Chains A and B, each alone.
Chain A
């Protein structure tokens, strides 16, 4: 068989989530055994399962490895400034309330430089689905300490081990006012996808933390082996405890990772409260910004 004929016979079936991706941008920039792609795949599968109108979904990222997700998914995608994905997304949500607005970014971006926006958006119960990929380190810039780096873990700016206390993110989100809080690792693909499906169908500030391996930096600096070794670690050390008190959800170095849906409570969102309050206070005089955007057709 000639080489040409051999090539012609190889037919690669389209990947099931290809319609959700900008295939002209693949291959992506993520390292081998990075977990971000898996999280993105779970999210795409969740979008498929919920059947939401993809034309009405916006995805907003900040800066960093996970920040690239907004550029790979075939949605209205915004790759913004470092730490500002949440306020940018808040603008989109309030500017066109009918959209499903998702923030997809990393731990350094969302709770390091963007920490203030994170707690305020949760306090307001702003109608955003926030997916935070936590790899315990700054990946894009080369392995610096993050506000999530566990105590004693090494990073390039904590070469003798980290002595700063990390955030317990589910607890931060829950105590700030989030309506939905869950944590999974990227090993839990089915449950992660289910959490995305659940959260897409909820309203308010929905927070899902996903623990992912960073083999290139976190595992290497801490001599934890390959990405696969970290996945094995998740397998052996992740414990599912739905409804667990988020105060117990902190993560120590190479310690148990508590996963599950910690919080799922109904409560009025920022927009609900604004509308309800103005209607009570102003009555018929209240003119809300239309769901499709302000003054766009005039």
Chain B
């Protein structure tokens, strides 16, 4: 709401439903519309449609619903529609553990919809960050015209902690930038040297066309390898080329570390405890917490790999982000996963033991 979102379409799913319940309560009091759709396919389609009216839009879900939303997340990526999707991750696959924590949708967040595209995914580790990063997610989606995924997890989603909500005027909100071009000269997918085209919304006289088909600068479908290259290349490059500006992480004690623990979401908080335990036992260990997971902080991991002995990567899945770390480390440092199948968080002692092992 503070980010300027005024349209939410959702479908109930544990453990995310509290969000839409709260929105259903608040939106009628503040000029927003909430609708409970018939399923997540429809929720995501409605979010993309509403965003084309310039109204900032969002949906909220968990694993099974996230799978259904993939279809229109791909459409949003192809049409370059700003929108936010919150996934409060539970353990899967399929119905899995509906009420219990997981972090196994991280690769689905990256390329869960078919075809090539890039988007942005953020991982909050606390209620405060859930607030802050939701605003950040909206701002990034406006800046890059992509769906931005807020990849929470059940623990962070159900956590009770103090949250400081600053006065509205102190919150930086990026409004929807509407093109100033006249309808006769406006082309909906002309990027004009930048990577991101200007936006016109429905109902302002531009009478533009947009499609999920491969399209040219007019938004018209063109079935050719040449136009595919131009159209999809830009979808990918607009994020890859701006990765340095988008990537965000926090680190502690990585400068002179022998071992670096890479973690995100709730697992970053558990890892913090493990790092403290290992330090007490004399290991030089740092923590790298990923705030933005996609795009991945490749450069930084590469740089760290030249300085350290090993990365330890705890996550609540059987190995997803660890493969990205491994790819970037390129055998310059060992990369050791610490898996947890979901339904709970790691025992910090277990992560600590691995840290001690790899440091030895």
A296-B46 in contact given A95-B7, A289-B6, A289-B33 (Cβ < 8 Å): no
Residue among B46, B48, B49, B56 with most chain A CB within 10 A: B49
> Contact: A71 with B175, CB < 8 Å?
no
Cβ of B89 within 8 Å of any chain A Cβ, yes or no, is no
Residue among A22, A71, A77, A96 with most chain B CB within 10 A: A96
Q: Which residues of B contact A87 (CB under 8 A)?
A: 9, 37-38, 41-43, 45-46, 49
Closest to A116 in B: B38
Q: Which residues of B contact A88 (CB under 8 A)?
A: 45-46, 48-49, 72
A282-B45 in contact given A56-B203, A95-B54 (Cβ < 8 Å): no
User: Contacting A76 at CB < 8 Å: which of B43, B51, B206, B211?
Assistant: B206
Cβ of B246 within 8 Å of any chain A Cβ, yes or no, is no
Residue among B74, B178, B202, B212 with most chain A CB within 10 A: B202
How far is A76 from B53 in the complex, measured between Cα atoms in Å? 10
Q: Which residues of B contact A282 (CB under 8 A)?
A: 28-29
> Contact: A81 with B28, CB < 8 Å?
no
Cβ of A285 within 8 Å of any chain B Cβ, yes or no, is yes
How far is A139 from B29 in the complex, measured between Cα atoms in Å? 47
> Contact: A293 with B37, CB < 8 Å?
no
Cβ of A188 within 8 Å of any chain B Cβ, yes or no, is no
How far is A154 from B6 in the complex, measured between Cα atoms in Å? 48
Q: Which residues of A contact B71 (CB under 8 A)?
A: 81, 84
Closest to B37 in A: A87
Nearest Cβ on chain A to B359's Cβ, whole angstroms: 50
Cβ of B167 within 8 Å of any chain A Cβ, yes or no, is no
Closest to B43 in A: A87
Q: Which residues of B contact A95 (CB under 8 A)?
A: 7, 33, 49-55, 57
> Contact: B47 with A91, CB < 8 Å?
yes
Cβ of A79 within 8 Å of any chain B Cβ, yes or no, is yes
How far is A92 from B178 in the complex, measured between Cα atoms in Å? 17
> Contact: B31 with A91, CB < 8 Å?
no
Q: Which residues of A contact B208 (CB under 8 A)?
A: 76-77
Closest to A79 in B: B211
> Contact: B55 with A293, CB < 8 Å?
yes
> Contact: A92 with B28, CB < 8 Å?
no
A290-B53 in contact given A77-B209, A77-B210, A79-B212 (Cβ < 8 Å): no
Closest to B176 in A: A296
Cβ of B205 within 8 Å of any chain A Cβ, yes or no, is yes
Q: Which residues of A contact B4 (CB under 8 A)?
A: 295, 298
- B 90-111 binary contact with A (CB < 8 Å = 1; else 0): 0000000000000000000000
Cβ of A78 within 8 Å of any chain B Cβ, yes or no, is yes
Residue among A24, A79, A98 with most chain B CB within 10 A: A79
Cβ of A60 within 8 Å of any chain B Cβ, yes or no, is yes
- A 113-128 binary contact with B (CB < 8 Å = 1; else 0): 0001100100000000
> Contact: B45 with A295, CB < 8 Å?
no
> Contact: A78 with B7, CB < 8 Å?
no
> Contact: B50 with A295, CB < 8 Å?
no
Q: How many A-B residue pairs have CB under 8 A?
A: 188
Q: Which residues of A contact B7 (CB under 8 A)?
A: 91, 94-95, 289, 294
> Contact: B33 with A94, CB < 8 Å?
yes
> Contact: A96 with B55, CB < 8 Å?
yes
Closest to A70 in B: B209
Closest to A82 in B: B71
Nearest Cβ on chain A to B130's Cβ, whole angstroms: 21
Closest to B39 in A: A116
- A 81-117 binary contact with B (CB < 8 Å = 1; else 0): 1011011111110111011000000000000000011
Cβ of B35 within 8 Å of any chain A Cβ, yes or no, is yes
> Contact: B49 with A99, CB < 8 Å?
no
A117-B38 in contact given A58-B202, A77-B208, A84-B71 (Cβ < 8 Å): yes
Closest to A89 in B: B49
A94-B45 in contact given A76-B203, A78-B52 (Cβ < 8 Å): no
> Contact: B29 with A287, CB < 8 Å?
yes
How far is A81 from B47 in the complex, measured between Cα atoms in Å? 13
> Contact: B56 with A90, CB < 8 Å?
no
> Contact: B203 with A58, CB < 8 Å?
yes
Closest to A74 in B: B207
Cβ of B318 within 8 Å of any chain A Cβ, yes or no, is no
Nearest Cβ on chain A to B49's Cβ, whole angstroms: 3
Q: Which residues of A contact B57 (CB under 8 A)?
A: 91, 95
How far is A241 from B185 in the complex, measured between Cα atoms in Å? 49
A81-B72 in contact given A58-B203, A296-B55 (Cβ < 8 Å): yes
Cβ of A159 within 8 Å of any chain B Cβ, yes or no, is no
How far is A116 from B205 in the complex, measured between Cα atoms in Å? 32
Q: Which of B1-29 contact A (CB under 8 A)?
A: 4, 6-7, 9, 28-29
Nearest Cβ on chain A to B114's Cβ, whole angstroms: 11
How far is A14 from B248 in the complex, measured between Cα atoms in Å? 57
How far is A92 from B55 in the complex, measured between Cα atoms in Å? 9
> Contact: B49 with A295, CB < 8 Å?
no
Closest to B211 in A: A79
Cβ of B197 within 8 Å of any chain A Cβ, yes or no, is no
> Contact: B207 with A54, CB < 8 Å?
yes
> Contact: A81 with B75, CB < 8 Å?
yes
How far is A140 from B205 in the complex, measured between Cα atoms in Å? 31
Known contacts A60-B49, A78-B202, A91-B47; 8 additional CB pairs below 8 A are A22-B220, A76-B202, A80-B72, A87-B37, A87-B41, A288-B28, A288-B31, A289-B32
**What are 15 A-B residue pairs whose CB atoms fall within 8 Å in the complex?**
A24-B218, A55-B204, A76-B202, A80-B75, A81-B71, A88-B49, A91-B48, A92-B53, A95-B51, A96-B55, A278-B28, A294-B33, A294-B55, A296-B176, A298-B175
Interface of A with B (CB < 8 Å)? 22, 24-25, 54-56, 58, 60, 70-71, 74-81, 83-84, 86-92, 94-96, 98-99, 116-117, 120, 274, 278, 282, 285-290, 292-296, 298
